[in-house]
Amino acid sequence: MNKELLMESARKMKVTAYVPYSKFPVGVALLLKDGTVINGVNVENVSLGATNCAERTAIFTAISNGYNKGEFQAIAVAGDTVDFLPPCSICRQVLAEFCSPEMPVYLTNENKDILELTLKDLLPYAFTDLEM
């Protein structure tokens, strides 16, 4: 799957986000090595610490569906922002737990431009088990 199709999947997901407090929907499309795409959205809670980001929703769903560390091929993150929308620090660390440092991370903005980075670009000094 190319990055444009993966990003389109992430953009379409934004409408299902549960964001009554921030009004800031985020959609994610996580591509697995077998070609499966698992989507995620942010889900807010009045107790902000109970809120879950779209990236973690997708990763945790993949793990719940039997996928394992190392089976993630790429991720696309979409929001309605002027600049490119990167994952938060917690999500970056969760990505570092399950994904290769060289995994492509695609970010977009409201103009539908796509920025391609690697996980290592986003988190150059990740705390990892060093076995990836």
Residues marked active site are found at: 55
Please tell me what DSSP assigns to residue 28: E
d(CA 52, CA 39): 14
Burial group, residue 108, by CB count within 10 angstroms (0-12, 13-18, 19+): buried
Report whether 99 belongs to an annotated binding site: no
Report whether 53 belongs to an annotated binding site: yes
DSSP helix/strand/coil, 84: coil
d(CA 69, CA 59): 10
d(CA 78, CA 7): 7
d(CA 97, CA 50): 21
* Binding region for Zn(2+): 53, 88, 91
* Binding region: 53, 88, 91
